[in-house]
Amino acid sequence: MDLQTTTYLVVGASFALYIGIAIWARAGSTSEFYVAGGGVPPVMNGMATAADWMSAASFISMAGLIANMGYGGGLFLMGWTGGYVLLACLLAPYLRKFGKFTVPQFIGDRFYSKTASTVAVVCLLTASITYIIGQMTGVGVAFSRFLNVSSETGIYVGQAIVFLYAVFGGMKGITYTQVAQYIVLIFAYTIPAIFISLQLTGNPLPQLGLGADMTGTDMSLLAKLDQVVTDLGFGKYTTTTAGSTLNMFVYTMSLMIGTAGLPHVIMRFFTVPKVADARTSAGWALVFIAILYTTAPAVAAMAKLNLHSTVNTAVMKGGDLYAPEASIKADERPDWMKRWEKTGLLKFEDKNGDGRIQYYNDATKNADAKAKAEQAGWKGNELTVNADIIVLANPEIALLPNWVIALVAAGGLAAALSTAAGLLMAISAAVSHDLIKGVFMPDISEKGELMAGKIAMAVAIVISGWLGLNPPGFAAGTVALAFGIAASSLFPAIMMGIFSKKMNKEGAVAGMLAGLFVTLFYVFAHKGIFFIKGTEFLDLIGGANSFFGITPEAFGAIGALVNFGVAFVVDKLTQEPPEHIQHLVESVRVPRGAKAVDGAHAH
């Protein structure tokens, strides 16, 4: 069976499974729609959380970023996993004990203010819609290649699929759908990695294969990759960092605290029966997440080595990497390159007219490499590879069987669609439950609230699809912006709401607005927005990355500091929270049945 037919069958079967589950588990009440009735077992909830958590950025883009950035790409691994631990240990149990299943509801009640709740809804919508853009970008990438349609058509199909199982199934349908999606995506990610690790190192575990010697040599895979990329004028794979050390640190912090402030993951902890189950499901989710996250560095390194060895035959055979015969002839390039060229995500341009593809670094500071390249007739790098295709193209580059390639297509789509569904649920709850019922129409019926939630979700799907057609960057870069927005606006308010009983509503509202404004201004200065292009704004802030060399994707941590600072200053200048709110905050942090101790007496 040919690749296209196999892909249609595998992807079609996975979609039929998701929609079937949504119909079987469709929500009949607001409780089932928002939190699946609070009756999901911890292990299953852990699996659904992992699927919700591992988006297109994790599945499609992260290994591509690590492949491009080398060691510096590790900040995505550290930031996202560290943030999940922060969320599971520091925030989720307290929010679960507080009993509010949306972030704006918690902020509104804790800060005794509908204004605070409304500001939280604005922050949540900004972060969530930005995040969904990244998922829709990933959906477009996967569809454009594997279903042989344009990325625009892919986004439209993805919108329709998400609409069917998210709007009809609610959180109950989404939860059981995400369990299926986790199983699909984890097999899709690990099976090709196992095949390729065996090919290159003889070790079936990619995590161990990454540090193992290559088959038939006494050189480790990473040492070989370092040698190849430096010889071709690229930075050393195992030491290259993402900008300055400060930027790498701030970027990691932004991803970490942004993770802890993301509403769609927090909502997951309300779908289990008890507080203890929230902790247990958090632990299981970490196990399920770790399977993919520990495999990603191996996928990245192996894909990069295979890509270079495809374009430059001397990589594996030995010999001069700059010899004319080392570069592959353009008319002999493999079929997988031709297929990806149709998507526009892989481009080849014969700049010197020699009929070969020369893949050397344009920006190299290696004078020896540059001299060798120019001697070989090089007039600039002739191959452009989008970071988002590395994982999806990996099994094709390694010439794996068609069913493995089709499985990766299904996995990439499962990752993007599962996170999109979770985000849409957070948006739906924020609009219908927190804004309409909580602020504007307190007497709305349960049926009316449910309908409002579904309409909000449908509108969000349309908006995110439209923005996904014109994203501000590659999938993981767009997602990093969403994390920055959550880090600068929601995370500080949640932290202060749990751990500072003296923080009042004025401080929380001022902090959220300040953090959100500063971060968005810095981001828009670099990315541009609608009719305003980046250059007009950049002049106002002193040029690109003008704040100590920090990139816009990393700026969320700075926004969070602004949020904390403004909140505490305003808090000191305004009244303390009411006594009952201070007691409420204390009671949320004290375990049930515990006695307060004052040093002499327990009372």
Give the domain CATH number at 295.
Answer: 1.20.1730.10
Res. 531 pLDDT band, cuts 50 70 90: very low
Across the range 116-130, mean pLDDT stands at 87
Any domain includes 509: no
503: burial class by Cβ within 10 Å (0-12, 13-18, 19+)?
A: buried
> Quick one: 427 and 375 in the same domain?
no
Q: Which is more confident, 461 or 53? A: 461
> Quick one: 227 and 110 in the same domain?
yes
> Quick one: 70 and 174 in the same domain?
yes
Task: Look at residue 227 and tell me whether its pLDDT is greater than 80.
Answer: yes
Res. 284 pLDDT band, cuts 50 70 90: confident
> Quick one: 365 and 463 in the same domain?
no
> Quick one: 380 and 419 in the same domain?
no
Any domain includes 553: no
> Degrees (nearest 5) of the Cα angle 431, 79, 526?
70
How many folded domains does the chain comprise? 2
State how far the Cα of 562 lies from the Cα of 564, in Å rounded to an integer.
6
Q: Which of 450, 476, 502 is a domain's end point?
A: 476
Any domain includes 295: yes
State how far the Cα of 352 lies from the Cα of 87, in Å rounded to an integer.
53
Q: Which of 389, 424, 443 is a domain's end point?
A: 389
**Greatest CA separation for the chain:** 88
> Quick one: 383 and 419 in the same domain?
no
Q: What is the pLDDT of residue 184?
A: 85
Tell me, yes or no, if the pTM score tops 0.85. Answer: no
Cβ neighbours, 10 Å, residue 330: 15
Any domain includes 132: yes
Q: Which is more confident, 524 or 6? A: 6
Task: Look at residue 5 and tell me whether its pLDDT is greater than 90.
Answer: no
> Quick one: 296 and 336 in the same domain?
no
Q: Hey, which of 128-132, 191-195, 273-277, 439-443 has the most confident mean pLDDT?
A: 191-195
Cβ neighbours, 10 Å, residue 460: 25
Res. 515 pLDDT band, cuts 50 70 90: very high
> Quick one: 272 and 381 in the same domain?
no
Across the range 265-285, mean pLDDT stands at 75
Q: Which is more confident, 373 or 590? A: 373
Paired tokens of 89: 């240990």
Q: What is the pLDDT of residue 571?
A: 95
Pairing type for strands 346-348 and 383-385 reads: antiparallel
In 3D space, the residue among 57, 79, 297, 339 whose CA is nearest the CA of residue 185 turns out to be 57
Q: Which domain covers residue 290, as residue numbers?
A: 3-257+264-304+395-476
Task: Look at residue 503 and tell me whether its pLDDT is greater than 90.
Answer: yes
Res. 598 pLDDT band, cuts 50 70 90: very low
Any domain includes 284: yes
Task: Look at residue 74 and tell me whether its pLDDT is greater than 50.
Answer: yes
Range in 28-37, 154-163, 164-173, 377-386 the model is least confident about: 28-37
Q: What is the pLDDT of residue 528?
A: 56
> Quick one: 272 and 414 in the same domain?
yes
Any domain includes 33: yes
> Quick one: 429 and 379 in the same domain?
no
Q: What is the pLDDT of residue 348?
A: 86
Q: Which of 443, 476, 509 is a domain's end point?
A: 476
Q: What is the pLDDT of residue 36?
A: 46
> Quick one: 225 and 202 in the same domain?
yes
> Quick one: 124 and 145 in the same domain?
yes
Q: What is the pLDDT of residue 197?
A: 93
Any domain includes 589: no
Q: What is the pLDDT of residue 88?
A: 77
Task: Look at residue 464 and tell me whether its pLDDT is greater than 70.
Answer: yes
* Average pLDDT value over all residues in the chain: 80
Across the range 105-120, mean pLDDT stands at 89
DSSP state of 327: B
State how far the Cα of 167 lies from the Cα of 427, in Å rounded to an integer.
12
Any domain includes 136: yes
